[in-house]
Amino acid sequence: MDHEIRSLSSTPVSTQEITLAEYLFQRLNQVGCNTVFGLPGDFNLKLIDKIGNVPNMKWCGNANELNASYAADGYARIRKIGVICTTFGVGEMSSLNGIAGSFAEHVGVLHVVGTPTISTQLKKLLVHHTLGNGDFNVFHRIYSEITSYHVMLQDIDLAPLEIDKCIVSCILNQKPCYLGFPANLSDITVPKNLLNIPLNFSSPISINKIETERDIIQSIISLIMSSKNPIILADGTCNRHDNIFKSIHDLIRLTKFPVFVTPMGKGSIDEQYPRFGGVYVGSMSSPEVKEFVENSDLILAIGSILSDFSTSSFHYSYKTKNVVEFHIDYVKIKNARFPDLNVKSILSKLLSSLNNLIKDGKFKYNASKKLVPQPPKSKSNLLETSVLRQEWIWDQLTNWLREGDIIIAETGTSAFGIMQTRFPNHCLGISQVLWGASGYSLGACLGALFAQRDDLEVDKLRKYKRCIVFIGDGSLQFTVQEVSTMLKWNFHPYIFVMNNHGYTIDRILHDSTVHEPTYHDVHPWNLQGLLTLFGGVVEPEEDQLNTENQALSKALNGPIYNPQNNTIKWPTTPVGPNCKNYRVELVGEFSKMVNNPAFSVPDKLRLIEVILPTMDAPNNLIRHVRTMQQKKGSVCSSTASTPATTSTVNSTIHSSTHNNGML
């Protein structure tokens, strides 16, 4: 109330003042966040009104809030911060699952919620989108459970500082933040020169930490010096923090240690690097990778997200005594935990110590001593007329992918498949390995497309060039309407729909007591009608005779620059076809499609329906299920299928754990 009254008597606005809403978007623009995802609603319209006043900022406008939160997450995985703006109550509750995912997966998403005015909140008025009980704090309380920083703006003098805090926290901690923005504050002004104060990303280290750091570096150096077969294991946050990303690459160059990635780290290391050994997934790894990693006498696990690798479905079988874990804010050496550290500082000091040792000739690692596991040669030689199999497809993709691709794999068989595909260099992999929300990948793909385009606005030689998503037909149904937003913005992703008529991952992992359960099936869709429904202008079936170059020049004709207001406008209504349908069922059809050079050029949105047998799955998944079945067989010899006998209760409990894992 006070603030509202005070604001009425605030000094007249000059060019030295900007509205608080503009302050927010200016700050976001400063950190390279140029797209705001979300939907309009009663309480955030005044916020959205201000986006257009800030150069380079744009409003995406999604089909629903959950999809918007996935898009903000996908965007943040590339540009280190993403933003979603929703309305109070209904909007923020609909997007909660996406923000919880960003929390689990360490992604810096800022959720700006337009709320009722402060006076409405204080008077506990009955308004739309509340629970009707006068409790205006309930949604904020809920978000406090899944954000690293959360605030409801109240005092206009503190508001710019709180906005800064949220943005810095997103980027520094790579965790979501919650910013409640009362409708009456949007138009209140603050001094414009506050924007000149740089955001403070430093994390001060106290004196005693410097000593701890020195001890840690010494311990790690001595472990490295005495190790015979050390490896580097890149985990989830390597991709999230530029500094860690740089450090791990410096460390690899310097030491030439073999390097592996976890499923969450896949895509953070150039996979064509000769010392790259593959993906380590504990007992689910390929036999060669498993042996190599678990026989190592020193694992430098960098960018670790999870401190305890004991899951109910598989185990990371290396010995704790051989591991140094570099988390974002602590280091764990063997069993000792050193909290409250800045891992970027540790890594940079470790690099400098190692560098000196190498210069002084005190440390030498024979890189050629032990060859890293090589990707298994494709064993699946299928006839042109064979029906498609995932094992064969994921192998083929290794050849079709290009440098600069963003590759997004949906939870399910695709997340397993992608692990066996070796990426070209400078690719980015996105998969929600831990949280695993179905449908996430399609929303994340929209976010990645915007991040890619925003990169282009900054740099003509954009880092990422294509965006490719693999999603099952079951998962597609969760978030399908976001294809409409891709068409609205004239984006050109590759959407591979792996159509196996339902939730095949559950079919394979769940040992049902029901004969032929139907709940894994989904209602079959006529996917060839999808692009038309969502307003796409579909290119006809006939093969285009475009050469790669012709297609490429078309692709680059997209954006229209407006020098008057310094923005880029993308044509929202394409003059010609802007998308195309593909449907492949046979090996020959798939080969012909991917071997056509024109297909590889991202000049239109492509929806590729890949028809697969219902129970087909990548080899690593099938191997995992076989191992689990063997284990189960050895634990209880009687596997009667009628439920609820003593022995079956036993077997049931065991089987109940086998799909509770991190995959």
Given candidates 297, 506, 585, 589, which one binds a second copy under the rule CB under 8 A? 506
Eight-state DSSP code of residue 373: P
Given candidates 129, 209, 334, 344, which one binds a second copy under the rule CB under 8 A? 129
Toward a second copy, which CB reaches closer, 22 or 213?
22
Q: Are 442 and 469 in contact (CB under 8 A)?
A: yes
Would you count residue 513 as binding a second copy (CB under 8 A)?
Answer: yes
4-37: buried (b, 16+ CB within 10 Å) or exposed (e) per residue? beeeeeeeeeeeebbbbbbbbbbbbbebbbbbbb
Given candidates 436, 443, 447, 472, which one binds a second copy under the rule CB under 8 A? 436
Would you count residue 425 as binding a second copy (CB under 8 A)?
Answer: no
Toward a second copy, which CB reaches closer, 452 or 485?
485
Would you count residue 357 as binding a second copy (CB under 8 A)?
Answer: no
Given candidates 55, 134, 339, 571, which one binds a second copy under the rule CB under 8 A? 134
The residue to which tokens 């020195």 are assigned: 214
Given candidates 26, 56, 130, 420, which one binds a second copy under the rule CB under 8 A? 130
User: How far lies 619's CA from each of 161, 262, 379, 413, in Å?
Assistant: 52, 18, 11, 10
Toward a second copy, which CB reaches closer, 178 or 400?
178
Given candidates 37, 149, 276, 478, which one binds a second copy under the rule CB under 8 A? 478
Given candidates 193, 425, 532, 557, which one binds a second copy under the rule CB under 8 A? 532
Query: What angle (nearest 5°) sits at the alpha carbon of residue 246, between those of residues 242 and 249?
Result: 140
Backbone angles phi, psi at 608, to 5 degrees: -110, 110
Residue type for position 547: T
Toward a second copy, which CB reaches closer, 255 or 432?
432
Given candidates 132, 198, 204, 361, which one binds a second copy under the rule CB under 8 A? 132
Toward a second copy, which CB reaches closer, 423 or 450?
450
Given candidates 191, 287, 339, 529, which one binds a second copy under the rule CB under 8 A? 529
- At closest approach, how far in Å is the CB of 139 from a second copy? 8
Toward a second copy, which CB reaches closer, 105 or 271?
105
- At closest approach, how far in Å is the CB of 333 from a second copy? 21
What gap in Å lies between CA 146 and CA 156, rounded to an integer? 26
Toward a second copy, which CB reaches closer, 363 or 435?
435
Q: Are 55 and 85 in contact (CB under 8 A)?
A: no
- Per CB under 8 A, the segment of 3-11, 291-299, 388-396, 402-410 that binds a second copy is 3-11
Residues between 643 and 662 that touch a second copy (CB under 8 A): 643-646, 648-650, 652-653, 656-657, 659-662
- At closest approach, how far in Å is the CB of 642 from a second copy? 9
- At closest approach, how far in Å is the CB of 387 from a second copy? 22
Residues between 219 and 278 that touch a second copy (CB under 8 A): none
- What dihedral angle (degrees, nearest 10) is formed by the CA atoms of 394, 400, 404, 409? -30
Binding characters for a second copy, 100-119, by CB under 8 A (x = yes)? xx-xxx----------xx--
Residues between 24 and 53 that touch a second copy (CB under 8 A): 39-43, 45-46, 48-49, 52
Residues between 308 and 327 that touch a second copy (CB under 8 A): 308-313
Residues between 59 and 98 that touch a second copy (CB under 8 A): 59, 61, 63-64, 66, 89-90, 93-94, 96-97
Residues between 387 and 406 that touch a second copy (CB under 8 A): none
Would you count residue 431 as binding a second copy (CB under 8 A)?
Answer: no
Q: Are 440 and 432 in contact (CB under 8 A)?
A: yes
- At closest approach, how far in Å is the CB of 377 from a second copy? 31
Toward a second copy, which CB reaches closer, 42 or 297?
42
Would you count residue 145 as binding a second copy (CB under 8 A)?
Answer: yes
What gap in Å lies between CA 245 and CA 241, rounded to an integer? 6
Q: Are 446 and 78 in contact (CB under 8 A)?
A: no
Eight-state DSSP code of residue 515: S
Residues between 539 and 568 that touch a second copy (CB under 8 A): none
What gap in Å lies between CA 134 and CA 145, rounded to an integer? 21
What gap in Å lies between CA 66 and CA 98, rounded to an integer? 6
| Full 3-state SS string of 451-497 | HHHHHHHHCCCCCCCEEEEEEEHHHHHHHCCHHHHHHHCCCCCEEEE
Toward a second copy, which CB reaches closer, 100 or 401?
100
For residue 229, what are its two tokens? 């077969």
Would you count residue 596 as binding a second copy (CB under 8 A)?
Answer: no
- First and final C-alpha spacing in the chain: 50
Q: Are 174 and 328 in contact (CB under 8 A)?
A: yes
Would you count residue 125 as binding a second copy (CB under 8 A)?
Answer: yes
Radius of gyration of the chain (CA): 26
Would you count residue 437 as binding a second copy (CB under 8 A)?
Answer: yes
Would you count residue 281 as binding a second copy (CB under 8 A)?
Answer: no
Q: By rule CB under 8 A, what count of residues binds a second copy?
A: 122
Residues between 446 and 465 that touch a second copy (CB under 8 A): none
What gap in Å lies between CA 278 and CA 271, rounded to an integer? 8
The residue to which tokens 């700006």 are assigned: 112
What gap in Å lies between CA 496 and CA 421, rounded to an integer? 15
Given candidates 187, 297, 403, 585, which one binds a second copy under the rule CB under 8 A? 187
What gap in Å lies between CA 105 and CA 98, rounded to an integer? 10
Residues between 287 and 306 that touch a second copy (CB under 8 A): 305-306
Q: Are 21 and 49 in contact (CB under 8 A)?
A: yes
- At closest approach, how far in Å is the CB of 292 from a second copy? 23
Toward a second copy, which CB reaches closer, 256 or 654?
654
What gap in Å lies between CA 100 and CA 174, rounded to an integer? 13
